[in-house]
């Protein structure tokens, strides 16, 4: 009789299979474990590496658990949001003043509106991206002593910060962390905001 878990296990990564038959063994149906064992045999995965992989997976789980213990709450996130909105809009205002001296006003309202949108959103996105790529924090996070990390607790890559920043344009993202511990831009970029121990 064919095991219904064979197809599912056949698309799992080697690491996922090892995790299933070692540290997550008690979470799975015995038929699923049997299918995972069978897939490991098919792939000729070296079982002597199981202990090292198990230890690494256990460390990863522990590290994620430790990161979750220092994730900041909604109040701190809201304070960061307010401070950063004030800073980013102040930057937009300064930029408009500078542009006002350099560019003569146009009678075409479409071009004027387009330049306004580009200036506002460009400044907003640049503020978050530059600050978080360089420092892992914005001015709001400097003040509240918090920083952005990956879900494992590491420094995010530039691409993770850019995804995080672009996701801020999703409507209501700015207050999504009020309803859930991690906001929408955190979830989509696989990042978290934690207390900075420094």
pLDDT for position 156? 94
Which residues are 146's β-sheet partners?
195
d(CA 150, CA 56): 17
- What is the C-alpha radius of gyration for the chain, rounded to an integer number of angstroms? 24
- Cα angle, residue 144 at apex, residues 79 and 157 outer, rounded to 5°: 100
In the predicted model, is pLDDT for residue 1 greater than 60? no
**Model confidence band, residue 127 (pLDDT cutoffs 50, 70, 90):** very high
Tell me, what's the pLDDT at 67? Answer: 78
Query: Do 45 and 68 form a contact (C-beta atoms < 8 A)?
Result: no
pLDDT score recorded for residue 166 = 93
Question: 116-130, 151-165, 181-195: lowest mean pLDDT where?
Answer: 181-195
Closest CA to 137 of 87, 68, 63, 75: 87
Task: Please check the confidence at residue 178 and state whether its pLDDT lies above 80.
Answer: no
Residue 148: phi and psi, rounded to 5, are -95, 135
Rounded Cα distance between 173 and 177, Å, is 8
In the chain, domain spans: 6-69, 74-195
Instruction: Let me know: does 45 contact 19? Beta carbons within 8 Å.
Output: no
Handedness of CA 98, 161, 173, 196 (dihedral sign): negative
Both tokens assigned to 148: 């952005």
Please check the confidence at residue 112 and state whether its pLDDT lies above 80: no
């Amino acid at each position: 009789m064919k095991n219904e878990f064979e197809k599912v296990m056949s698309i799992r990564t080697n690491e996922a299979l090892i995790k299933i038959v070692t540290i997550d063994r008690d979470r799975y149906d015995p038929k699923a474990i049997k299918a995972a064992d069978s897939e490991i045999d098919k792939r000729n995965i070296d079982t002597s590496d199981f202990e090292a992989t198990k230890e690494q997976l256990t460390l990863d789980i522990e590290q994620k658990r430790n990161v979750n213990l220092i994730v900041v709450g909604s109040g701190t996130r809201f304070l960061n949001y307010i401070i950063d909105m004030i800073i980013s809009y102040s930057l937009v205002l300064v930029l408009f003043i500078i542009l006002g001296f350099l560019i003569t006003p146009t009678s075409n309202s479409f071009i004027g509106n387009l330049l306004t949108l580009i200036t506002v959103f460009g400044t907003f996105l640049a503020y978050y991206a530059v600050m978080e790529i360089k420092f892992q924090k914005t001015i709001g996070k400097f003040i509240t002593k918090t920083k952005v990390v990956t879900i494992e607790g590491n420094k995010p890559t530039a691409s993770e910060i850019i995804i995080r920043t672009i996701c801020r344009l999703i409507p209501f993202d700015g207050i999504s962390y009020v309803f859930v511990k991690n906001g929408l831009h955190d979830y989509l970029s696989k990042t978290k905001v934690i207390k900075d121990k420094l």
